[in-house]
Amino acid sequence: MHRIVVDAMGGDHAPDEIVQGAAEASLQLASAEIILVGDSAAVGRVLPRLRHDGARVRVHHAPTRVEMDEKPAEALAAKPDASIAVAVDLVARGEGDALVSAGNTGASVLACARRWPMLDGIRRAALAAVYPTELRRGEKDDPFSLILDVGATIDATAEDLVGFAVMGSAYAKLVSGNRRPRVALLSNGTEAGKGPPEVVAAHAALVATTELNFIGNIEGLDIPRGVADVVVTTGFVGNVVLKMLEGVSETVVRLARYAHKERLAWRLGLVALSSAIDQLKAITDWQQYGGAPLLGFRYPFIKAHGRSNARAVTNAIKVAHKALAGNLAANIARTMGELDERASRRAQGVTT
Amino acid sequence: MMRALLRRVTPLVRVGEKIGLLDHIPPGLPEGAPRPRHTFRWDLDKTYLRTEFDSIVDLAKSAIETAADKQAYPGATALLRALRQDGNRICIVSGSPTQMRQVLAAKLALDGVEYDEFVLKNNLKNILRGRFRSLRAQIPYKLPAMLRSRIGAPAEHETLFGDDAEADAIIYCLYADLLAQRVSTDVLERVLVASRAYEDDAARILELARTVPKEDAVTRMFIHLDRRSPPLGYRRFGPRLVPVFNYFQAALVLYQDKVLSARQVIFVALEMLDSGQYELGHLATSVQDIIRRGRVTREVALQLSEDASEAAKSGALSGRTDLPPFEQIAQSFRQRVRELGVIDAPPPTDEPLDYVRLVDEEHEHRRTRRKHGMS
């Protein structure tokens, strides 16, 4: 049985949508136990109104919560009994196997970093994000690519970037059903020598020591095209890229709304395109993806979008379940071990 | 009387019952037998047996299943066996057709479940008489069956087990309120009209309701949430009706009611663990759930932990090398109760039920389900 801890109070629509998503997950995942961490009175008011399995949803009381706009370090210091802190602690104590939260990202990452051990061979964690692309991938025809890191580690070394590539590849294999995910480094040119020193060094290491499907460097414009299934970058760059992708997407929607209001001809044009727009919406529906992982820790953490509704939460729980069922953490650790071994053999070969 | 005589003298009546041409009338208590203390009435499909009839394929599959193929819900068999002790009566009223008696009886025998009455629905008779409304009718079938059974053997207390697939909650509450004289003849008449009972059936039910020994005998009702219906929907039926996700929860409530001992609760739990569908964690969570819903108190749960510990010491868990030591189990259960924090469950309402409205709502609900391709 996989025990998935859910921060019931995290997110714009908590606890109602979170509890509803967890309730639905309890019906869909027979081999999982969902542990809702949060104000038990609030959770207890919502849960009995929903279809769920009472033997598979348990409540763990946590009296406070970290608000979405609170500063992570200050909030965690002031509220050690906040739902996210208690949830992270439950997993750390072995009372849960994975975590799902739609709450304050900074607080979630910080809480995990303070309490959870890293995977063997991984020095720093990476927060991944999914984004829709032109090309689809994997046995499920997945329209989403993975980009990591988007903010957990601001200044990554070459070694860290290699670790991110291994983790992203393992995750894409498992969640997208993509047997050989195409992994790329984000740079300012496709040539191996382009980019800052850590990217150049990571490129060399990925070519020399890993068996990943490493396709080299890609540029920013290749991201939405879907040239790579896993895009590896530092947290600083990844965060800028992610925000820009979100900004562009919102601007396009706003422009469409503006067009709809302004002229009849434009309005008619939009109506004519409505089915295509609907299809596009379905492709870019992040709610069906559920959430993105924080990789590198011994336990899986799926960070759902702050605006997550019940469906997104259910899917995030299912992703966490998949990560546990597919032994994601063990797979990453094993690959890192092999990589270390290969690197030390190479080093020995050079010296002897 | 005449039928009873006929039954003794001719095997043809039995054949008639078997093929569904004649109704099976439960024999009731033998002359001079003491009044039973407690009767437990059970539905079968989706209450005791895991039956799927959400589609035609499911129905066909269920009809051709052998006794060995049929699956009881984990814990249900152990609970039924525990309830049968001390001379209590087990009466089964099922909506399955009479033609399934043999296979269902064989299943109960395989499970070692003894019973006093076993009533099935005579749908062949309904078809032959052109009474197609009766094929799906719930109240006009189950209510008279229960009333007739009580007339034959009126126990001091009754506990009823049903499920959330059909109208069991309404029927059981109506039955309980009829016995307690909280439902007038006028209301019952209107309920029977709303449930589309045929006129002669309605007249018979009214007569049974008039003659049944009146007493506030129904102390507890359980609705097995097979469809995982929201438990809050059952709050309106009052504190006597408890929706349960599994039979460990039912056993906990019965322990609270002082109907079951801690040892018997352990046996229900062990059967659930042996089924492979439940782990200790699920049972602990089930305890937490029923406390959170305000149906069992924390004090009772803690008392059970103590009593169960005594039972474990006296051998209730002997030979169970697959389980951790009992104190460890009890500790994890207590921990689960502590994790719960503040409980804010609104108590179930205890107001009189508007049965006519409930029946209308149930029909509407069924129509909606049919429209969406569900049974």
Q: Which fold has domain A1-122+296-327?
A: Isopropylmalate Dehydrogenase (3.40.718)
Q: How far is B305 from chain A, CA to nearest CA, in Å?
A: 18
Average pLDDT in the A90-103 region? Answer: 96
Per domain, the residue ranges of chain A are 1-122+296-327
- For residue A331, report the phi and psi dihedrals to the nearest 5 degrees: -60, -40
CA dihedral sign, ordered A178, A184, A186, A189: negative
Q: Which two tokens stand for residue B10?
A: 């001719």
Which residues in chain B are contacts of A55 at CB distance < 8 A? 245-246, 248, 278, 282-283, 285-286, 289
Phi, psi of A326 (to 5 degrees): -90, 10
Least trusted range by pLDDT, from A186-195, A216-225, B127-136: B127-136
| Average pLDDT in chain B | 87
| pLDDT value for A154 | 83
Distance CA A235, CA A140 (A): 28
Predicted pLDDT at B121: 86
Q: By the 8 A CB rule, do A294 and A126 touch?
A: yes
Q: Does B344 touch chain A (CB under 8 A)?
A: yes
Cα–Cα dist B349/A233, whole Å? 59
The yes-or-no verdict on residue B375 having pLDDT over 60 is: no
Q: What percent of chain B has a predicted confidence (pLDDT) above 90?
A: 58
pLDDT in tens, B3-52: 565 556 556 656 655 555 556 666 677 777 888 899 999 999 999 999 87
Which one is predicted more confidently, B243 or A346? B243
pLDDT digits (tens, 9 = 90+) for A196-214: 999 999 999 999 877 889 9
Asked whether the beta carbons of residue A49 and residue B227 sit closer than 8 angstroms, the reply is no
Across the interface, do B336 and A58 touch by the CB < 8 Å criterion? yes
The Cα A196–Cα A194 span in angstroms is 7
| CA–CA min distance A202, chain B (Å) | 45
Contact B282 A33 (CB under 8 A): yes
Query: Which residues, 6 or more positions from A294, have their beta carbon under 8 angstroms from its beta carbon?
Result: A108, A109, A112, A125, A126, A127, A128, A152, A301, A302, A303
Best B222, B333, B340, B349 member to test A by mutation, with max A CBs in 10 Å, is: B340
pLDDT over threshold 70, residue A278: no
Percent of chain B with pLDDT over 70: 90
Residue A51 to residue B341, Cβ atoms within 8 A: no
Chain B, 257 to 316: residues with Cβ < 8 Å from chain A are: 278-279, 281-286, 288-290, 292-293
Please give the ipTM for the structure prediction: 0.84
A chain contacts of residue B332, beta-carbon cutoff 8 Å:
none
User: B335 — contact with chain A (CB < 8 Å)?
Assistant: no
Q: In Å, how far are A124, A155, A184 from A158, measured between CA atoms?
A: 12, 10, 14
Ordered structural domains, chain B, with CATH: 37-242 (3.40.50), 261-339 (no CATH)
pLDDT value of position B320: 77
Taking alpha carbons only, the member of B76, B42, B41 closest to residue B249 is: B76
Note the pLDDT of residue A110.
93
What's the pLDDT at B23? 61
Q: Hey, of B246, B278, B342, B374, which one would you mutate to test binding to chain A, going by the most A CBs within 10 A of its CB? A: B342
Identify from A27, A34, A45, A53 which residue to disrupt to test chain B contact, counting B C-beta atoms within 10 A and taking the largest count. A53
User: How far apart are alpha carbons B260 and B244 in whole angstroms?
Assistant: 16
* Among the partner residues B225, B230, B342, nearest to A61 by beta-carbon distance: B342
* C-beta atoms of A48 and B230 within 8 A: yes
Round to whole Å and give the CA distance between A325 and B323.
Answer: 24
Q: What is the DSSP letter of B324?
A: -
Q: What is the pLDDT of residue B38?
A: 96
Indicate the pLDDT class of residue A253, thresholds 50, 70 and 90. Answer: confident
Contacting residues for A41 by C-beta, under 8 A, at least 6 apart? B341, B342, B343, B344
Contact list, A46 vs chain B (CB under 8 Å): none
Strands ordered across the beta sheet of A2-7: A57-61, A32-38, A2-7, A98-101, A301-304, A291-295, A126-137, A142-148, A230-232, A182-186, A213-218
Q: Are A220 and A242 in contact (CB under 8 A)?
A: no
Highest mean pLDDT among A58-62, A174-178, A260-264, B327-331: A58-62
Res B2: pLDDT: 54
Chain A interface, best mutation among B222, B224, B225, B228, by max A CB count within 10 A: B228
Judged by CB atoms closer than 8 Å, whether chains meet at B343 and A33 is answered as: no
What are the tens digits of pLDDT across the range B70-91? 999 999 999 999 999 878 999 9
pLDDT of A336 higher than 90 = no
Chain A, window 156-185: residues with a beta carbon less than 8 angstroms from a chain B beta carbon: none
Does the pLDDT value for residue A351 go beyond 70? no
How much is the pLDDT for B25?
66
- The model's confidence at residue A251, banded by pLDDT at 50, 70 and 90, is confident
Report CB contact under 8 Å: B228, A1.
Answer: no
Query: Tell me: the pLDDT tens digits for B129-156?
Result: 777 777 777 889 999 999 999 999 999 9
Q: What are phi and psi of B99, to 5 degrees?
A: -65, -15
Per-residue model confidence (pLDDT) at position A285: 54
pLDDT of residue A352: 43
Using an 8 Å Cβ cutoff, are A54 and B286 in contact?
yes
For residue B230, the model assigns a pLDDT of: 96
Mean residue pLDDT across chain A: 88
A49 contacts B340? CB cut-off 8 A = no
Could you tell me if B231 lies within 8 Å of chain A, comparing CB atoms?
Answer: yes
The answer on pLDDT for B309 being more than 80 is yes
Residue B203 clears pLDDT 60, i.e. is over it:
yes
CB A4, CB A98: distance < 8 Å: yes
